[in-house]
Amino acid sequence: MSAQPIAYADVDHEAALKYAVQLIDHRWAQVIEGRIVLVSPMWDHEKVAARIRRQLDAKVDELGCISGSGNLDLPGSPNWYLPDLAVIPEDLAEGAAALLPDQTLLVVELISESNGDTDRITKRKRYAQYGAPLYLLADRQRRECTLFSEPHDLGYAVVDGPHPFGTSLHLPGPFDLTLDTTGF
């Protein structure tokens, strides 16, 4: 007697995948276009994130926000991101398992050798579709920064850059500050 195939039509595969990635013990993981990707930040990567965070700290406090690397869910897609840095209103951090990109004020991704196309293409497209108002891409492979703003379904309408590392990059409101990219 042969086994009958099991029907999985009633299973919410997106929810199951996003739930599973949260249960990976002691590892940071994200889901990118349906693939589970384990994240292991290196110290040189963290150094750049810290330099950006320090420059944002006073404005983040003034705006009543926090910065960090929490979960961002993209409902209706096979994506669950852990940005290198995001700025969110402090009140949204209370008990939230994940936020949506449109709840952020800024999302920052730092490109490493292993994730160039993911951050340059896939995440840029998805962050725009899900309304992240500002997307800062610090491309450590190409040694340049680009700021994307005015998101819509097809991408970002405004692209400021690429600017070589070592030059200044203006972040518009609500930040309205100039970011020094020296040492990225």
The answer for 66, left when phi > 0, alpha when psi is -120 to 50, beta otherwise, is beta
CA distance linking residue 157 with residue 18, whole number of Å: 30
Count other C-beta atoms under 10 Å from residue 45's C-beta.
Answer: 17
Percentage above 90 pLDDT, the chain: 56
Q: Note the pLDDT tens digit of each residue in 5-50.
A: 555 566 565 666 666 666 566 567 777 877 777 777 678 888 999 9
CATH architecture of 41-180: Alpha-Beta Complex (3.90)
pLDDT of residue 35: 76
User: So where are the chain's domains?
Assistant: 41-180
Residue 131 in this model has a pLDDT that exceeds 60: yes
Q: What is the H or E stretch that residue 151 is in?
A: strand 144-152
